[in-house]
Structure 1
Amino acid sequence: MKFGLMSANLMGNVEGTAAGELARAAEEVGFHSIWAVEHAVVPVEYASTYPYDEGGRLFKGASQLDHSDPLIWLAFAAAATSKIRLATGILILPQRNPLIAAKEIASLDRLSNGRLDLGIGVGWLREEFEALGVPFEARGARTDEYLRALRVLWSETEAEFHGEFVDFAPVYCQPKPTQESIPILVGGHSDRAARRAGELGDVFFPAERPVDTLASLHLAAKRYAEEAGRDPSSIELWTSSPGDNEHLEQLIEAGVTQVMVPARPAEQLEDRYSQLIADYGSEAPS
């Protein structure tokens, strides 16, 4: 099992010194990846239900946390490190212009020498979409089309795409990514997310869920991959965990190949996670 350090771009880590120290410490301890999350804005008042808490709300104070843009933060982390993978967890893809996103993402992959893992999701906070002037409805279909457009922009010299949400005549979009295919990590915990992972992704990344739920979601993603003519065994399952031994053992049995654990200050990473990583055989990138 590989380990990732999640939500690294929050609070004190928005400062350059702390961000660099955390990224270097994560690499030295043996983390496979470091993750940055996204909310462009959080409305002061919202009626949307937060899907990752029983109370349906962000935890107290979360709305006002310092929260760096994930791509910019990961570019800074890339400059401070040499081998740790850099992951968005997640980028709210339907909120972004796909042509600008393609350039930003490819630029980060080039700057990091091909270390980017692109985690994407459809978002849940209607009021955030409204503030940005982006339709909340059909965000799933929009995301699917954006993913297809990104692949075209990254792979074709004269890229052209004609769809419902994205429509452009041939363009040059440079630079191309270092990686032949940037890994797409699909966030979510619904059947629709499983379909998206199976049809368009490389990894299915549901947030922490009961182990049997994770296993059934993974099976669904692999079934959708097979129906789409893809190799179902290529779809990996990643998730998050508080990092206790019993839970990790259950995740391994369920087929999870990478687990994301909560970020800590740089000076605490070794004491909290080095033995855990050693015990569960994480592969740090070389």
Structure 2
Amino acid sequence: MKFALHFGNTSFPDAAGAMRLARLAEAAGFDSLFAVDHVVLPEHYDSPYPYSANGRLPGNITAAMPDPLVWLAFAAAATTRLRLMTAVIILPLRNPLVLAKQVATLDAMSGGRLDLGIGVGWLREEFDALGIPFAARGRRTDEYIAAMRALWRGEPASFAGEFVRFEGVRCTPAPPRGAVPVIVGGHSEAAARRAGRLGDGFFPSIGAQVDTLPLLAVARRAAAEAGRDPAAIELLMGCPGALPGSGQDPLVAVEERRRQGVGRVVLPLGAFLPDLEDSLPRFGEQVIRRFGAA
């Protein structure tokens, strides 16, 4: 079982904080560190936020939210083993050629430690601000994944789709592993099916106001229907019972996730604040090392 910390860039938006957190997480035995994404946040929005009961973004929208790839670059520079993941980058808001270059560069410079967590987005007003159609974001996402993978193969790449078209171009450096794993995030059946058809993993996002556990089976079934090995789809999921102060036995809670097929447990960083120097090593000793994670 592997363990990840979520919301790193919103909890520690400055360079010193990013590097401090990354070092502590790596020393405690966490597998990976996640960073969230929005390009812009409108002052006024009607779109319901799907990860809180009141449909509104938590916290203050004036708080710093660094670009996830830039922030993860600081975390990468401070560590040697810790994996890094966008959770999730809003893929249809990005030019896929530019993003493929940025992602491959960070993956190469970190020694192949990047996972690209992607989502289709929920905030229509953000799409409007960037001049990108909200209605076509699902089809755009599928096509962008295919286009980026074509660029990552390290040879003259060509692609012709509804939204993206290029011929005979190179994108270097190439990812050390031949591609960057794409982890599909989301709380819907559409996200689960996309993960099964196209993803290297599936992450039903923390805080969804629906039961996301059944979506794991949806992702596996979609993989089988697409002729892929369902067991090859990494499953990531939250585990409230493992959090400090939950009142539950964290070992029992994590073991239950393992029985459900989850390979990486994702925990919100806020549960370990404010004293990371105490809370992260303690969790590493009491929980992570009991499951054999490095």
TM interval, short-chain normalised: over 0.9
| Structure-1 residue corresponding to 2:72 | 74
Identity of aligned residues (%): 50
| Structure-2 residue corresponding to 1:123 | 121
Letter in 1 for 2:257: L
Comparing 243-252 with 194-203, which one deviates more in the overlay?
Answer: 243-252
| Structure-2 residue corresponding to 1:141 | 139
Contact 2:29/2:289 (8 A) holds in 1: no
Comparing 24-33 with 250-259, which one deviates more in the overlay?
Answer: 250-259
Contact 1:119/1:184 (8 A) holds in 2: yes
**Is 1:38 matched with 2:48?**
no
With the length of structure 2 as denominator, give the TM-score of the two structures.
Answer: 0.90
Where 2:9 maps in the other structure, the secondary structure is: coil
Contact 1:239/1:260 (8 A) holds in 2: yes
Kindly report the root-mean-square deviation, in angstroms, between the aligned alpha carbons of the 2 structures: 1.9
1:272–1:52 Cα change, 3 Å: farther
CA separation in 1, counterparts of 2:286 and 2:127? 39
Letter in 2 for 1:278: I
Please give the residue correspondences for 1:17-166 in structure 2 after superposition, counting only pairs within 5 Å: 17-61=16-60, 63-166=61-164
How far the C-alpha of 1:251 sits from its partner, in A, is 2.1
Letter in 2 for 1:95: L
Cα shift readout 1:158-207 (whole Å, capped 9, x = no counterpart): 11100001111221111111122321110012111111101110111002
With the length of structure 1 as denominator, give the TM-score of the two structures.
Answer: 0.92
Contact 2:30/2:288 (8 A) holds in 1: no
1:235–1:209 Cα change, 3 Å: farther
| Structure-2 residue corresponding to 1:273 | 283
CA separation in 2, counterparts of 1:98 and 1:274? 37
1:180–1:75 Cα change, 3 Å: same
| Structure-2 residue corresponding to 1:239 | 237
| Structure-2 residue corresponding to 1:184 | 182
Contact 2:239/2:267 (8 A) holds in 1: yes
Q: Among residues 238, 256, 260, which one is paired with 1:250 in the alignment?
A: 256
CA separation in 2, counterparts of 1:78 and 1:279? 23
* Structure 1 alignment gaps of length 5 or more: none
Where 1:108 maps in the other structure, the secondary structure is: helix
Cα shift readout 1:83-111 (whole Å, capped 9, x = no counterpart): 01011111111000000000000000011
* Structure 2 alignment gaps of length 5 or more: 244-249
How far the C-alpha of 1:221 sits from its partner, in A, is 1.0
How far the C-alpha of 1:273 sits from its partner, in A, is 2.1
